[in-house]
Amino acid sequence: MSIDARIADDQPDSFAFTRENEAEAKRIIAKYPKGRQASAVMPLLDLAQRQHDNWIPMKAIEMIAAKLDMAEIRVLEVATFYTMFNLKPVGTYFLQACTTTPCWLRGSDNMMRCIKDRYGISSGETSECGRFTLLEVECLGACVNAPILQVNDDFYEDLDYASTGALLDSLEAGSPLPVGSVTGRSGSEADGGATTLQELKPAE
C-alpha cells in the first residue's frame, strides 16, 4: 500500500495539543538530552492520535516535526512504519489481527474469516456501520497464546471462529469481554494446564 493510500483525503485545517497534552508533551521531551529530542517522536504521535479520535492528521505531523526540530518527512516515516499509527479515520473498534506463522498455525485464518463473514471487510477496510476497522499485522508479541486479536489497546487470545464471533457480539453490545485468553488459560501455560511445576500459587 502506498503512503498516499494511507493518508486521509479530508484533513483538518489545524491541530494543537490540548493544555493537558501540551504539558504531557513537554514532560516527555524533557526526558531526552538536548539534541536528542527526536527520540520523543513515537510517544508524541501516540499522544496526538489519542487526542484526535484514534488517527493522526497531517497538521499533527507538522506540529510534532516543529516541536522536535525534525523534518516533516522523518515524522511521517515513523508514522507510516508502525501499524499502530493511523493516518486516516478508523472505527470505534480498531481490530489488529496477527496472521504471522504462530497465529496462522493456531487458526488465525478462522478468526479473520469470522470478521469478514460478519462485516464483509478485509485488511485496511472499515465496516459499513463505521464501528469496526480491520488491519492485518505482523507479530503482536504474544505468540504462545495465538491467535491474537488486538482491539484498540487490548489483547484477546486463543481465538477461533466461534469465540471471535462472541467477542464481536460483546463489542457490538458495548460490553467487551474480559481481556486476555478467551479460553481462561492462565498466563502462558499449556492448554491442558501447567506442566513444569507440581503446584502453583492460585492467582489472587
pLDDT in tens, 54-92: 999 999 999 999 999 999 999 999 999 998 899 999 999
What fold characterizes domain 3-81? Answer: Arc Repressor Mutant, subunit A (1.10.10)
Q: Are 40 and 28 in contact (CB under 8 A)?
A: yes
Residues 6+ apart with CB under 8 A from 117: none
Instruction: Give pLDDT, residue 198.
Output: 59
- CATH code of the region 93-181: 3.40.30.10
For residue range 124-173, what is the model confidence (pLDDT) as tens digits? 999 999 999 999 998 998 898 999 999 999 999 999 999 999 999 999 99
Query: Is pLDDT above 70 for 5?
Result: no
- Identify which of 83, 86, 37 has the alpha carbon closest to the alpha carbon of residue 64: 37
Q: Where are the domains of the chain?
A: 3-81, 93-181
The pTM of this model reads 0.82
Over 60: is that where the pLDDT of 1 sits? no
Q: How many helices (H) and strands (E) does the chain have?
A: 8, 6
Task: Report which of 200, 171, 175, 198 is spatially closest to residue 185, judged by C-alpha positions.
Answer: 200
Asked whether the domain spanning 93-181 has the same topology as the one spanning 3-81, the reply is: no
pLDDT band (50, 70, 90) for residue 2: very low
